[in-house]
Amino acid sequence: MQWVRVKLIKEARPAWATRIRDREDVHAMLKRYYRFHDREEALIICLDNKTVPTHIHSLAVGTIDRCLIDPRSVFKVALLAGAAQTIFIHNHPSEDHPTPSKEDRQITERLVKAGELMGMRLIDSLIVGGNRIESILHK
């Protein structure tokens, strides 16, 4: 048997860590980050009870048209961060409209269910594409 210790290391709270009111706030926060991405990258944004981001974590970098996500990796970060709620976000690097794929809808459904089981709400699942952001949960 081995002993295991899990540790979350917090870095300085960024200046942009202000309350998120809607998906446009998330887009303003991350559009520069995704601007030159040539592959999909999935992020989790951990939030406190007042929807202020406490942590942002890169979950996976994929290919030009897909990124494999496992709900365990999403909520592992959220649990370690003590998040009250989360936002899942990824990009479509083709500069095309951020239209959700069948796979995007499936992973969102899995994340919603997993979050409900743990009492950690997924408040949105977003796709950034070009100069637009699209919600899978809220139209």
Looking at the DSSP bridge assignments, the partners of residue 2 are none
pLDDT of residue 9 exceeding 70: no
User: Is residue 6 a part of any domain in this protein?
Assistant: no
pLDDT of residue 49 exceeding 90: yes
Range of the domain at 127: 23-135
Predicted TM-score (pTM) of this structure: 0.87
User: Is residue 30 a part of any domain in this protein?
Assistant: yes
What CATH number does residue 66 fall under? 3.40.140.10
User: Is residue 27 a part of any domain in this protein?
Assistant: yes
State pLDDT tens for residues 79-118. 988 999 999 999 998 766 788 999 999 999 999 999 999 9
Residues 79-111: b if buried by 16+ CB within 10 A, e if exposed: eebebbbbbbbbbbbeeeebebeeebeebbeeb
User: Is residue 129 a part of any domain in this protein?
Assistant: yes
Instruction: Give residue 69's pLDDT.
Output: 92
User: Is residue 14 a part of any domain in this protein?
Assistant: no
- The DSSP element (H or E) to which 111 belongs, if any, is helix 102-118
User: Is residue 2 a part of any domain in this protein?
Assistant: no
Express as a percent the part of the chain with pLDDT over 70.
89
User: Is residue 118 a part of any domain in this protein?
Assistant: yes
Residue 133, Cβ neighbours under 10 Å: how many? 23
For the chain, the domain total comes to 1
Instruction: Give residue 47's pLDDT.
Output: 93
Nearest Cα residue to 43 out of 34, 32, 56, 33: 56
User: Is residue 63 a part of any domain in this protein?
Assistant: yes
Q: What is the arithmetic mean of pLDDT over 117-133?
A: 92
